[in-house]
Chains A and B, each alone.
Chain A
């Protein structure tokens, strides 16, 4: 994706700091630019400030110092209600938001603050329930859904508002491969619509394979910001942020130690598979 050089970042965070009322400093001197259409991962130890960072985006937290600009406007002057129309944040626990009498009403509630007419509300509700394969639960109580379906409903309740920026807090927590694949497809279809996506995750393998740019946080600071494959391949950074090297990187290092020839740049599962495929085909090479 070509980045226009004169393009103004969609989100600009300048010298952001945040201190909780009890004195804990959650964010320190954060400087961050995010361009429209990017897919970004935020990783770091628990308590590093990841959740605090995303809460500044929709106004749940107001920075103690510094400024945030979204679409070139300072967020300080905007209410949470206004910001949440542009920035849709989906938190970890779907049960922190489900309360309505039916799945349908749950979506209606999310649409309420958008001031749409009745037909539009009905249309969007039907559309989103179809997209998330929740149509059959339309009249059911949201509390009667399984864990996986509740998570889908939580996604749907933000997606129906069609925000430009989507923020996910640990979307793959407790999910099996099928559910993670659903999530990946969801992200891909949103990217096609040129949405900007930010994901907080601990899932290193997922990040390595699917997320182009990663921000690492430690102790309230951003300590790294760059291409995921480089950031997560750095042993020093990994140690600082309580992560572990992706398996491909670990295998790469181990193969390197064997002194193999032609171990070119391997930076994906496919690359590694290709390399090993060739290795096993040409059994004449020595290990």
Chain B
């Protein structure tokens, strides 16, 4: 379950409306939806906000992956339902579930449709130092590599009789050493190799670095951002005037 869940955040190169948007517009999207989710604790408004995500998911052609990210939360959801129902109410529990769905979606959609390259560029355009943005995209680049490495290490250790299941908390922690130590060491070695390669390609040698790719806000980015701002204004308005809103918005389960 856990690996599938992570896959729902991995960038997939596609041609879609969402993919073609500027990464900064998508960042604004994630932030605005997160804020919107946090504004409500009632089921109905949250449900509508959640529904409004679906056309975007379809526009991004990432429906299947998005569903996976929701599914991956199933364990957490069960946990929340039980706790919240016991201590507060089932309605509140359901509302919290919707909230989590929205926030996770906001970021899963972001990561699914933003090329890590573009992400680094957008960080730079927001005046972050180049080295910082670069480390960020470098981390992204090597995540799949490290995942494969971890699997190879597990294979090598299992071939020597290493077993994963151990009893007792202390034993379980000790049991991670044969996996973690080689992984950490190989990551450090890799870092050295990468650094050496970067030096050999003049990394950091000049302050005035040029950029081969660039990101620019286009018409559709402005339109999308405008839509998001209107959406946020609308949501805030509903929240502020909540008590004078029609009753059905405040509907909750009789539990």
Contacts and interface: CB of A to CB of B under 8 A. Distances in A.
Interface of A: 55, 58, 60, 80-81, 84-85, 88-91, 93, 95-99, 109-110, 112-114, 143, 157-158, 161
Interface of B: 149, 152-153, 155-163, 177-178, 181-182, 185-186, 189
A109 B155 contact: no
A96 B182 CA distance: 6
B160 A109 contact: yes
A174 to B, nearest CB: 15
Contacts of A91: 152, 155-156, 159
B187 to A, nearest CB: 11
Contact of A84 (B161, B185, B186): B161
Given A109-B160, A158-B159, A95 B185 contact: yes
6 contacts: A84-B160, A88-B159, A91-B155, A95-B186, A96-B149, A96-B155
A109 B178 contact: yes
A201 B221 CA distance: 53
Contacts of B181: 99
B185 A97 contact: no
Enumerate the 3 nearest inter-chain pairs by beta-carbon distance, A residue then B residue, closest first.
A113-B161, A99-B181, A97-B156
A99 B159 contact: no
Contacts of B189: 95
B182 A95 contact: yes
A22 to B, nearest CB: 10
Nearest to B157: A97
B151 to A, nearest CB: 9
Given A91-B156, A96-B155, A113-B161, 5 more contacts: A84-B161, A85-B161, A96-B149, A97-B178, A109-B160
A80 to B, nearest CB: 5
A114 B163 CA distance: 12
A54 to B, nearest CB: 10
A60 B152 CA distance: 10
Contacts of B186: 95-96
Contacts of B178: 97, 99, 109
Contacts of A110: 160-161
Given A95-B189, A96-B152, A60 B159 contact: yes
Nearest to B163: A81
Contacts of B160: 84, 97, 109-110, 113, 157-158, 161
Nearest to B179: A99
A113 B182 CA distance: 20
B148 to A, nearest CB: 11
